[in-house]
Amino acid sequence: MIARDITFQDCSVHFFDAEDRRKGISPIEKVIRSITTGNNVWIGTEANILLGTKISDDSIIFAFTTVGRSIPPNHLVH
C-alpha cells in the first residue's frame, strides 16, 4: 500500500565527477540503484525512498520518513 505524495528516487542525478561533466556522461548512467519492496508493505504519506533501498515483507514506513537502507521483514521505520 502506498499513500499519497511518495518520492521514489532511484538515482542521485547530480554530476559529482568533474571529468564526467567534461565528457558529457549522464550521472544516471553511473548511479542508478533499484528500489525494491516486498509483499504487504505500507509506505506512509510523503515518505522519501532513496536509491538502493530494499523494503522487506510486512514492513511499515511511517509518513514523512526518509529511507535509504535495507529494511528487514516486519520492521517499522519512523
Question: Side chain identity at 39, as an amino acid letter?
Answer: N
Q: What is the pLDDT of residue 27?
A: 66
Closest CA to 61 of 32, 72, 52, 34: 72
pLDDT band at 10 (very low <50, low <70, confident <90, very high): confident
- State pLDDT tens for residues 12-55: 666 667 887 788 777 665 677 889 999 999 999 999 999 999 99
Between CA 9 and CA 29 the distance in angstroms is 14
pTM recorded for the entire structure: 0.78
CATH code assigned to 7-77: 2.160.10.10
Query: Which sequence spans correspond to the domains of the chain?
Result: 7-77
